[in-house]
Structures are given as structure tokens and as C-alpha cells.
């Protein structure tokens, strides 16, 4: 798997740099697409609003990744993107993208791969939909730690990521703490026993596929 992080760096000159405060909406689900973005610094949360009004976190965009690729060619955005920290982004319009196509043909494949990665994130959610919550939590936790090293852990937002209640998350976190699989300190979460967590994640894994493929290691 080609690591997708930072692959878009050579093309930043075609975009427009924007600085956003924490908690700013970059685009809304259903809004007519106006282009896509590159996250240079900061953090962005991608959410999907269900018809019943529940909010499901699709992922936290790691630095060096694109977001909103599905808003190319005026397609409506599939999700909502909100900054969770002060962030620096580069914004690419359709016109900018056309220019990139013309001048940098290899960017086309990189863009397609990035879009396909987003497809796989949705497929990942579907794979885990009906599995036990503990298994889902193990997967998303391993992934978050691998992509971000250390991050402030908030049970409420993690519950939204997994698609369950905060109480359920708390119960399992306490259990894992006791079993020394993880350690909580200063609002950060550290994995102490990754192989055990992966074991929980991979139960009945016949059809789960290569989960490590979905993770974007730090460089």
C-alpha cells in the first residue's frame, strides 16, 4: 500500500492556504461540492448524519491527507467536516484541479487513490456495524493510536466514533484498564498490550480483510 500521507504536498502551490479556528465547519453534508482540501496542520473530524439525526464519526483526518475529494465536480458532499483544533488547510477548486491534471498527470492517480481510501473507510464501518462493541472499540482505538501516536482521549467523542453510548465506552475502557491493556493518564490514552487488543479486534476475522491497510502511519 502506498502511504497516502503527504503525497499531495508537491501540488500545494495550486491551492489556496486557509487558516481556521477550532470548531469551524469546512463543508456540510449535502452541500453542493465546491472542491476539496488538504490538511497541513491541525485536526479535522468527518461526520455522517443519519436520517434519524444521529451523528456518526467517520474518521479524524490525519495531517497530510486530503478531505472532501467527493465534492469534486459539484457532487454534493457526503459528510460534514469540522476542525477540532486550529488548523491550516489548502483549498482546491475544480479549476485548480483541472490545472493540476494538465500540468501534473501523475496527480490524477494520487487523487483517485485518496478517494478510494475514503471509500474504504465507509466499507470499514459497514464491516464492523453488527459486531460486538468491544471488538469495534479495539479496532478504532488501535487505529487512532497508530495514526496519531498520542491524543487527548474523550469518551464522548470516542463513543460517536464507534457508534455507541458513552456509558458502554466507559465500561469497556475500565475493563481494559484493569486488564492492563491500556493506561489512561492526563486525558491521554496509551496502549499497553497491542497484541491482545488486536486479538479482540480480529475475532471471527474471516471476512474482515486487511485492517492495517486502512491505517496511515506517521512518517
Of 7 and 20, which CB lies nearer to other proteins in the complex structure?
7
Taking only Cα atoms into account, the Rg of the chain, rounded to an integer number of angstroms, comes to 18
Of 33 and 42, which CB lies nearer to other proteins in the complex structure?
33
215 binds other proteins (CB under 8 A): no
Sketch the per residue contact string, 29 through 58, with other proteins: x for CB under 8 A, - otherwise.
-------------------x-xx----x--
8 A C-beta contact, residue 62 and residue 78: no
DSSP per-residue letters across 82-136: EESS-EEEEEE-HHHHHHHHHH-THHHHHHHHHHHHHHHHHHHHHHHTTS-HHHH
8 A C-beta contact, residue 182 and residue 176: yes
The residue count for binding other proteins (CB under 8 A) is 42
Q: Which residues pair with 59 in a beta bridge?
A: 46
- Residues between 84 and 113 that touch other proteins (CB under 8 A): 101-102, 105, 108-109, 111-113
Instruction: Please report, as ranges, the residues that interact with other proteins according to CB under 8 A.
Output: 1, 48, 50-51, 56, 69-70, 72-73, 75, 78-79, 101-102, 105, 108-109, 111-113, 115-120, 122-123, 125-127, 129-131, 204-210, 213
Amino acid at each position: 500500500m502506498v502511504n497516502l500521507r503527504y503525497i499531495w504536498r508537491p501540488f500545494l502551490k495550486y491551492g489556496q492556504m486557509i487558516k481556521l479556528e477550532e470548531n469551524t465547519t469546512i463543508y456540510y453534508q449535502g452541500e453542493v461540492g465546491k472542491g476539496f482540501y488538504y490538511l497541513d496542520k491541525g485536526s479535522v473530524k468527518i461526520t455522517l448524519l443519519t436520517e434519524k439525526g444521529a451523528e456518526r464519526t467517520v474518521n479524524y483526518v490525519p495531517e497530510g491527507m486530503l478531505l472532501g475529494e467527493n465534492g469534486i465536480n459539484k457532487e454534493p458532499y457526503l459528510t460534514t467536516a469540522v476542525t477540532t483544533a486550529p488548523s491550516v488547510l489548502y483549498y482546491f477548486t475544480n479549476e485548480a484541479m483541472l490545472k493540476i491534471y494538465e500540468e501534473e498527470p501523475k496527480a490524477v492517480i494520487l487523487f483517485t487513490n485518496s478517494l478510494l481510501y475514503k471509500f474504504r473507510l465507509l466499507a470499514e464501518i459497514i464491516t464492523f456495524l453488527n459486531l460486538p462493541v468491544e471488538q469495534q472499540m479495539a479496532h478504532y482505538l488501535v487505529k487512532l493510536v497508530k495514526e496519531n501516536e498520542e491524543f487527548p482521549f474523550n469518551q464522548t467523542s470516542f463513543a460517536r466514533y464507534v457508534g455507541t453510548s458513552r456509558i458502554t465506552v466507559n465500561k469497556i475502557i475500565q475493563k481494559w484498564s484493569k486488564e492492563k491493556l491500556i493506561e489512561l493518564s492526563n486525558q491521554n490514552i496509551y496502549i499497553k498490550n497491542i497484541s491482545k487488543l488486536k486479538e479482540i479486534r480480529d475475532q471471527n476475522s474471516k471476512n474482515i480483510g486487511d485492517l492495517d491497510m486502512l491505517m496511515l502511519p506517521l512518517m
